[in-house]
Amino acid sequence: MDTTRTCRNNWVITVERSKDKHQPILRSAVAKRAHLRFEQRGYKHGLDLEDWIVAEKEFLVDDFSGNTSEFRFVIECPGDPEVTTILSLTTHSLVVLRSHPRSIAGAVNGPEVVSVHVMPDEIDPTRVVVKSIDGLLHVHAPKLKRMSKLE
């Protein structure tokens, strides 16, 4: 982990040095979604690749807002003070996790993956701004500006 910012209201931002940290989470999320599509089609074989491609596209952030300078997300933050929401960022992805308290048996549960977002453009994770408003986290992720070939 490169940087961690602990904030009020039980949420944390982590900035990962490498995209590799999110790869297993992304693959798992896509695999679960592709399998769900397979189930919804009545377990009919022959469309495995299509299921996978459609599932991958579902996690790609739509950039149709017209805002060319940043991506925006709204994340629900539970009101339970025992639950911590973790925003884990790389230059191309945001993974939202929830860390729950120990179970009654005392076992430590790992964070639960709540949502996965893949951004088509590179962002600067260190410049992400998060505002907590009425139980929602408003995340603003600025895109990196690219130098054009003419400059």
Domain membership flag for residue 113: yes
User: Tell me, what's the pLDDT at 67?
Assistant: 60
Tell which residue, 34, 141, 36, has the closest CA to residue 96. Answer: 141
For the chain, give the percent of residues with pLDDT over 70: 79
Q: Does residue 109 have a pLDDT over 70?
A: no
The domain tally of the chain equals 1
User: Tell me, what's the pLDDT at 91?
Assistant: 92
User: Tell me, what's the pLDDT at 89?
Assistant: 93
Q: Would you mind telling me the total number of residues written for the chain in this entry?
A: 151
Domain membership flag for residue 34: no
Residue 141, both tokens: 């992720």
Domain membership flag for residue 30: no
Domain membership flag for residue 43: no
Domain membership flag for residue 32: no
Domain membership flag for residue 96: yes
Q: Does residue 66 have a pLDDT over 60?
A: no
Q: Does residue 102 have a pLDDT over 70?
A: no
Domain membership flag for residue 78: yes
Domain assignment of residue 99, given as a range: 3-17+60-142
Q: Does residue 103 have a pLDDT over 70?
A: no
Give the CATH number for residue 82.
2.60.40
Domain membership flag for residue 94: yes
Angle at 144 between CA 143 and CA 147, to 5 degrees: 135
Q: Does residue 72 have a pLDDT over 70?
A: yes
